[in-house]
Amino acid sequence: MSLLEIDNVTLRFGGVVAVNQVSFSVEAGEVFALVGPNGAGKSTIFNLISRFYEPAEGDIRFDGKSILTRQPHEIAGLGIARTFQNIELFEQATVLQNLLVGRHRHRHSNFVSELLFTPFVREEERRHRTAVEKVIDFLDLQPYREKMIAGLPYGVRKVVEMGRALAIEPKLLLLDEPASGLSVEETQDVAFWIEDIKTQMGITVLMVEHDMHLVSSVSDRVLALADGMMLALGTPAEVQSDPKVIEAYIGSADDAAEREVA
């Protein structure tokens, strides 16, 4: 069953077509990767799903229903969580506090009950902390739980951002370049976590990633894009061997080399 459906979506910025008639579906329980050179439209598709951008054409459906009438702040409530290329955490808060922010869609108490700290609020707080502690254990963040984000290494911050998204308890997790800036060892950890997110937590994953080794090791299916258009869709091996994909990657590498020489 398709959890997410991107149906013939087009996005324009003035005269530039950033996403051009893209269609694909993400099945419940799979890891689906978007790959392609810089400027291919990968993160733009994430922004469309997050409702930061409005498509000029097409539809986006989640759980069988269009989300085009939804506002960005409503997306998490549907069960969609996201990380970003540029880490977005509260620098002067602890790891635990940042993860608790991810519980916002599950909070049902009002201001007065929280002020009075009623039994309902106490029970709700206990549930939130229990859920967050599970994420901390899952991502091996116990040594950092009370540490401020501002003093943590980049790799740990990336893990915390993933943890905050997991704390939402989403049906669909959008990972925007989860291995960007990480060491080989840290990337291997990310691969293990993605596999466990799928198999142990039952969460569907859609990710944008440049590290093709990571993509090949964890993805069930891959969509390759270039200049906002679809190039190939299939298993990692099928996509990597597709002539159009090879040409797009070699072309982008040659262009970069020419710019360096110039």
Instruction: Give all domains of the chain, ordered by start, each with its CATH number.
Output: 29-40+71-240 (3.40.50.300)
95-132 tens-digit pLDDT: 999 998 877 554 444 443 444 455 655 667 778 788 89
What pTM was estimated for this model as a whole? 0.87
Q: What is the DSSP letter of 148?
A: B
Q: Per-residue confidence at 255, pLDDT binned at 50, 70, 90? A: low
Average pLDDT over every residue of 154-173: 94
Q: Residue 152 and residue 144: Cα distance in Å, rounded?
A: 8
Three-class secondary structure of residue 122 per DSSP: helix
Q: Are 149 and 160 in contact, with CB atoms under 8 Å apart?
A: yes
Which has more pLDDT, 26 or 101? 26
Q: Give pLDDT, residue 128.
A: 77
User: Which range has the worst mean pLDDT, 48-57, 80-89, 246-255?
Assistant: 246-255
Burial of 91-119, coded b for 16+ CB within 10 Å and e otherwise, reads eeebbbbbbbebbebeeebeeeeeeeeee
Average pLDDT over every residue of 186-214: 96
Q: Per-residue confidence at 141, pLDDT binned at 50, 70, 90? A: very high
Q: Give pLDDT, residue 88.
A: 81
Q: Give pLDDT, residue 155.
A: 94
235-254 tens-digit pLDDT: 999 999 999 999 887 665 54
Element (H, E) at 251: helix 243-261
Q: Give pLDDT, residue 130.
A: 83
The neighbour count for residue 86, using CB atoms within 10 Å, is: 8
Three-class secondary structure of residue 15 per DSSP: coil
DSSP lists the bridge partners of residue 57 as 10
What is the average pLDDT score of the chain?
Answer: 89
Q: Give pLDDT, residue 84.
A: 87
Element (H, E) at 17: strand 16-27
Average pLDDT over every residue of 125-147: 90
Q: Residue 76 and residue 118: Cα distance in Å, rounded?
A: 26
User: Which range has the worst mean pLDDT, 102-106, 134-138, 200-204, 252-256?
Assistant: 252-256
Place of tokens 């097409």: 58
Q: Give pLDDT, residue 85.
A: 79
222-235 tens-digit pLDDT: 999 999 999 999 99
Phi, psi of 84 (to 5 degrees): -125, 155
Q: Which residues contact 9 (CB under 8 A, 6 or more apart)?
A: 19, 21, 22, 23, 45, 48, 55, 57, 58, 59, 60
Q: Give pLDDT, residue 213.
A: 95
